Structure 1
Amino acid sequence: MAAPGRRPDISSSPSPSPAGAGASGGRRLLRTQTVGNLGESIFDSEVVPSSLVEIAPILRVANEVEATNPRVAYLCRFYAFEKAHRLDPTSSGRGVRQFKTALLQRLERENDPTLKGRVHQSDAREMQRFYREYYKKYIQALQNAADKADRALLTKAYQTAAVLFEVLRAVNVSQSVEVDQAILDTHNKVEEKQKLYVPYNILPLDPDSTKQAIMQFPEIQAAVYALRNIRGLPWPKDHEKKTDDKSTGKDLLDWLQAMFGFQKDNVSNQREHLILLLANVHIREVPKADQTPKLDDRALDAVMKKLFKNYKKWWCKYLGRKSSLWYMAFELYGMLAGNVSPMTGENVKPAYGGDEEAFLMKVVTPIYKVIEKEAERSKTIKSKHSHWRNYDDLNEYFWSVDCFRLGWPMRADADFFKTPKDAYPNRLEGENRSMGSVHWMGKVNFVEIRSFWHIFRSFDRMWIFLILSLQAMIIIAWNGGTPSDIFDAGVFKQVLSIFITAAILKLGQALLDIVFGWKARKSMSFAVKLRYVLKLVSAAAWVVILPPRLFVGRGMHEGAFSLFKYTMFWVLLLAMKLTVSFYIEIMFAAMVVV
């Protein structure tokens, strides 16, 4: 860290100033109108450029302590600037150049005023003094509170203290001043506690939060105790595990994380969600008088049915596959039973697990890489929409039986992971995709063809309704002139001709479907192709005989009362619209013609 109080020395980097100019050019740029319009809000953590997200906590602490000690706030911003310059020395990130320039301008403006208000003669001593005072005033005071009620304040205080020590150490190193041993000891305590006092959404699950009000509910305690009952579970050899599981807060989800390699933050979110779900079901299933800190089996059964309801409804029933829960849990059973692999002689391990964040690296990342490759192709290659897959294509793949071709563990040579560049690197875009055993999956569903007919195809129901209504009103007006004439046998027979018009419009819609989906014909399933053909053949019918297997709204109907209100709203609205249109537009036109 450069000596605070002077303009930061950034002339030796590839980009000598935040604006990419020399030292003098950087000074001139500080006075430009663009920087002047940025305002002070540029230093809020919410507007920090994405490539500099690591300095957001430092600037947040600077804003927090500025009212108490402006010099410490200045030192925090000075350290944030130098860290930002190390993260992006060439200011190539989006918004980085403007951000660093504006921050440098503020540092030059606030240096002298904050220097005059400094208590000690050096910034190093000033930082040490403030760190000791902050620890005593905020952390010790909250720790010594009888109830320790405000856990959120204590969590925030530990985070702020950690940032202050980071800045303190940088300032002391730049001024060749050793940090007092007492401050180092204090920092060790803060660092140890900070691992426990982590941010949370609703439930504080660290050992020191057992007296929090929300943790006193019997249903919450029952769910927490059930998850922490992990006696006899075989932990990995290299996993650090203390003997007293209750004191360390280890639970079943920690074990799953260690064995399957799930992400830490995802496990934390799922833990909180599962506890709240179990607690809510427990309090509903069990009478209040019978509630104990032990989780009821009825709650477990209800939660399990709720969690796998969607799986059984969509995966099993919709795709016509048998439930594979037993297979998904087979790896877990093998680990619990201590089965030994005949190949390696070691205990059975999951297909993806054992390593830290193994699921992210071996399952999520390969799928993400496919999306990334296809997105890059859409930007760099002048290819049509039918020659690259978007997110919807990849998502639809996992709602079809084709996804079983991936296998488990997933096959790296599966068609899903292939791109045209991998499948046929020496061929031009649009040529035959098949090349021996190498095959690009291609588009799954929609292929864009730019045409103004999309207006009709996208809003076909509205256009058909308006055209048929216009036809009916013209017939009524031409044969009498009042809406009651529709009950006349002759007039009613002529009004029935709207079904002929509807058949013609449906025929046009079927033709447009085929035209717009023609480029995706090679990747369509046989059922989709058959649907297009039958819809074209049966265009004279008002209702499509064969419904979109791909419809994902099945089973999501509204209640009867909601449908009644919705229907009555449109009936009244359309009745008023048609009545006004009949008397003002159609009748007026008929009178003019007559």
Structure 2
Amino acid sequence: MLSRGGGSDQPPPLPEWRIMRTQMTRSLIFDSEVVPSSLVEIAPFLRAANEVEKANPRVAYLCRFYAFEKALRLDPTSAGRGVRQFKNALFRRLERESDYTLMGTLGRVKKNGDACEMQSFYQHYYKKKIQALQNAADKADCAQLTKAYQTANVLFEVLKAINLSLAVEFDREILEAHDKVAEKTQMSVPYNILPLDPDSANKAIMKYPEIQAALLALHNTRGLPWPREYKNKQEEDILDWLQTTFGFQKDNVSNQREHLILLLANVHIRQSPRPDQQPKLDERALNEVMKKLFKNYRKWCKYLDRKSSLWLPTIQQEVQRRKLLYMGLYLLIWGEAANLRFMPECLCYIYHHMAFELYGMLAGNVSPMTGENVKPAYGGGDEAFLRKVVTPIYELIAKEAARSRKGISKPSQWRNYDDLNECFWSVDCFRLGWPVRADADFFFLPIEQHRLEKTIRVSKPPAGRDWWVGKVNFVELQSYLHMFRSFDRMWSFFVLCLQAMIIGAWNGSGNPSSVFSSDVFKKVLSVFITTAILKLGQAVLDFILHRKARRSMSIHVKLRYILKVLSAAAWVVILPITYAYTWENPPGFAQTIKTCFVSFAHYPPFLERSNYQVVMLMMWWSQPRLHVGMGMHESTFSLFK
């Protein structure tokens, strides 16, 4: 290709994206640290190799070689994205480094040369790096010390693998050093805002009286029934007990520990008058945080007419710790719930049962079968809450999302978060049991139902199995009728006003007061007939738009829709007949009605939030009983008018 200037044949310049890609490829081959997502576990070994390479190239080579072997075990078929290219690049680097490192003083001289080299370097790293940082006057930077602990753990794992392959025993000094490093590693965990390890006690944020008060309250673990297999550790608190008892994840406990301490400290510092500066948690702050956390849970219990599981002891000294345990349990459930957070009443159901179990454990209840303290119904154990409580419900959510086909399926064919959450708005949700039964109708998919209908050809569900729960209160239909039903009050107002204005314009003198004359007022009264017709249309639309939810509706809801249609139809017949009768003094009577309504308007009955049976019967006719949005719909006074 000739250049534009007519010069010699020169290749065109590389595009910018190709230059960047070439640089990334060279970086991959040189550093071997662009780790694919499926091999993320080997990243610490590659970082440790880069850190110690200048001090000892042979140790760096052994770390990379161990990372390569681990990569082969993690993904033996190289099925992950970019795994094959990464393995090839790492292998080529190991080939280049092997000849160089074997030229050292050890090399092939001894059979156990690598083991001796790793042991010697581990001791050197522990004394010169870790102990130097620990003995520093300013206690060093926590980030540097944490990084040194991580590198030491990587070196020990590589050393352990080499010793096992060569049948070499560990030096006692190395084992003692590793035990100290492992203990410090558990204490020096990563943090968000609060460094809670003992070495960070002198940090500025940890000197606030409010932080110290919350920490002191959380460390009150005296008398808690720890499991027999639990190994005590330094600085344990009530969240550690919750983790051990209910099987929460370690990182979740660390996050929620910070969360709870900061919640209490922030509310504590805003109290007026200011509490004492001594490290003692203010009871007002504790009650305020507890009230906010359990607002929805208490409302849910009241809605279902169930007693909450927040039972406090009679001993005053134990009340504060019991409140902290209840709040810690709620935050741990919320922190590990993942997508279940979009189903707040489902979380209330989970918490209701787990808080009741917590009360039984603290009360000292003993299992009649084993004679030991009661345990969670799902068994406890490591990460048991995630595996046995969250995962089954999450898998149901994933199946329902897959059935939506990215929004292509009709809304009546799959359930979203709101539909699944509505199952916990009724006392029927307690049929799921605890822990949630895997064979409950809540997990039954309609695809299985259709398959049963085609193969077995039954009209009723098989024994011991219910139909798919489906939509509980509403199934969306893709129809233009929603535009009329959703804005029915607006359409009704426009139609009635238009009718009244037409009557006023075609009758009388045109004066607005003439509408109250006898003849005109009789004609204006025809708006009640129009209202009855519009109400009949509204009831029919309700019946049509909810017909796909008829299988999951209760008999009471079905009866309500049917009676509303019959009632509206009856008024359409009654009002035209009674319209034939006239009143002798319509203005005075109209004024009397107006006066009665004005006086009644000062005392509107707020009945939407009541749980009395009589009031619920009255409200049942006017509108459905729902948990979310309770008390926000059309008022009783407006419906009465």
- If the length of structure 1 is used for normalisation, what is the TM-score? 0.64
Asked if the contact 2:213–2:280 (Cα under 8 Å) also holds between the matched residues in 1, the reply is yes
Residue 275 of structure 1 corresponds to 261
Residue 41 of structure 2 corresponds to 54
How far residue 213 of structure 1 moved from its aligned partner, in angstroms, is 2.8
The equivalences for 1:163-174 within 5 A come to: 163-170=154-161
Residue 305 of structure 1 corresponds to 291
Q: 1:331 to 1:551 in 2, by over 3 A?
A: closer
Asked if the contact 2:32–2:89 (Cα under 8 Å) also holds between the matched residues in 1, the reply is no
Asked if the contact 1:139–1:154 (Cα under 8 Å) also holds between the matched residues in 2, the reply is yes
How far residue 89 of structure 1 moved from its aligned partner, in angstroms, is 1.0
Q: 1:525 to 1:164 in 2, by over 3 A?
A: farther
Instruction: Choose the corresponding residue for 1:145, options 136, 139, 143.
Output: 136
The equivalences for 1:144-543 within 5 A come to: 144-148=135-139, 150-170=141-161, 182-241=173-232, 248-285=234-271, 290-313=276-299, 315-319=300-304, 321-326=306-311, 329-342=355-368, 345-374=371-400, 386-420=412-446, 426-428=452-454, 434-444=461-471, 518-524=547-553
Q: 1:355 to 1:168 in 2, by over 3 A?
A: closer
Asked if the contact 1:319–1:400 (Cα under 8 Å) also holds between the matched residues in 2, the reply is yes
Q: 1:312 to 1:205 in 2, by over 3 A?
A: same
For these two proteins, the number of residue pairs brought into alignment is 492
CA distance in 2: counterparts of 1:107 and 1:321, whole angstroms: 64
CA distance in 2: counterparts of 1:515 and 1:91, whole angstroms: 55
Asked if the contact 1:70–1:114 (Cα under 8 Å) also holds between the matched residues in 2, the reply is no
Q: 1:358 to 1:184 in 2, by over 3 A?
A: closer
Q: C-alpha offsets along residues 520-570 of structure 1, whole Å, 9 cap, x if unaligned?
A: 4423457877898879999xxxxxx977866846799xxxxxxxxxxxxxx
Residue 74 of structure 2 corresponds to 87
How far residue 81 of structure 1 moved from its aligned partner, in angstroms, is 2.7
Q: C-alpha offsets along residues 263-286 of structure 1, whole Å, 9 cap, x if unaligned?
A: 333333222222222222222236
Asked if the contact 2:133–2:145 (Cα under 8 Å) also holds between the matched residues in 1, the reply is yes
Q: C-alpha offsets along residues 243-269 of structure 1, whole Å, 9 cap, x if unaligned?
A: xxxxx2122222233333333333332
Q: 1:209 to 1:340 in 2, by over 3 A?
A: same
The code of the aligned residue for 1:112 comes to R
The code of the aligned residue for 1:81 comes to F
How far residue 143 of structure 1 moved from its aligned partner, in angstroms, is 0.4
Q: 1:39 to 1:110 in 2, by over 3 A?
A: same
CA distance in 1: counterparts of 2:413 and 2:173, whole angstroms: 65
How far residue 86 of structure 1 moved from its aligned partner, in angstroms, is 0.7
CA distance in 2: counterparts of 1:304 and 1:347, whole angstroms: 27
Q: 1:150 to 1:396 in 2, by over 3 A?
A: farther
Residue 577 of structure 2 corresponds to none
Q: 1:258 to 1:106 in 2, by over 3 A?
A: closer
CA distance in 2: counterparts of 1:45 and 1:252, whole angstroms: 43
Asked if the contact 1:45–1:57 (Cα under 8 Å) also holds between the matched residues in 2, the reply is no
CA distance in 2: counterparts of 1:304 and 1:134, whole angstroms: 48
Instruction: Indicate the structure (1 or 2) with the bigger Cα radius of gyration.
Output: 2
CA distance in 2: counterparts of 1:317 and 1:195, whole angstroms: 43
Asked if the contact 1:389–1:442 (Cα under 8 Å) also holds between the matched residues in 2, the reply is no
Other structure's SS at 1:202 match: coil
CA distance in 2: counterparts of 1:392 and 1:115, whole angstroms: 63
Asked if the contact 2:219–2:238 (Cα under 8 Å) also holds between the matched residues in 1, the reply is yes
How far residue 303 of structure 1 moved from its aligned partner, in angstroms, is 2.2
Other structure's SS at 2:181 match: helix
CA distance in 2: counterparts of 1:292 and 1:73, whole angstroms: 52
Asked if the contact 2:61–2:97 (Cα under 8 Å) also holds between the matched residues in 1, the reply is no
Structure 1 alignment gaps of length 5 or more: 1-31, 243-247, 469-488, 490-503, 539-544, 557-594
How far residue 342 of structure 1 moved from its aligned partner, in angstroms, is 4.8
Q: Percent identity?
A: 63
Other structure's SS at 1:394 match: helix
The code of the aligned residue for 2:150 comes to Q
Asked if the contact 1:416–1:440 (Cα under 8 Å) also holds between the matched residues in 2, the reply is no
How far residue 401 of structure 1 moved from its aligned partner, in angstroms, is 4.0
CA distance in 2: counterparts of 1:509 and 1:108, whole angstroms: 75
CA distance in 2: counterparts of 1:398 and 1:170, whole angstroms: 52
CA distance in 1: counterparts of 2:21 and 2:458, whole angstroms: 52
How far residue 158 of structure 1 moved from its aligned partner, in angstroms, is 0.7
CA distance in 2: counterparts of 1:39 and 1:531, whole angstroms: 69
Instruction: Choose the corresponding residue for 1:120, options 104, 110, 124.
Output: 104
How far residue 356 of structure 1 moved from its aligned partner, in angstroms, is 3.7
Q: 1:311 to 1:174 in 2, by over 3 A?
A: same
Q: 1:39 to 1:290 in 2, by over 3 A?
A: same
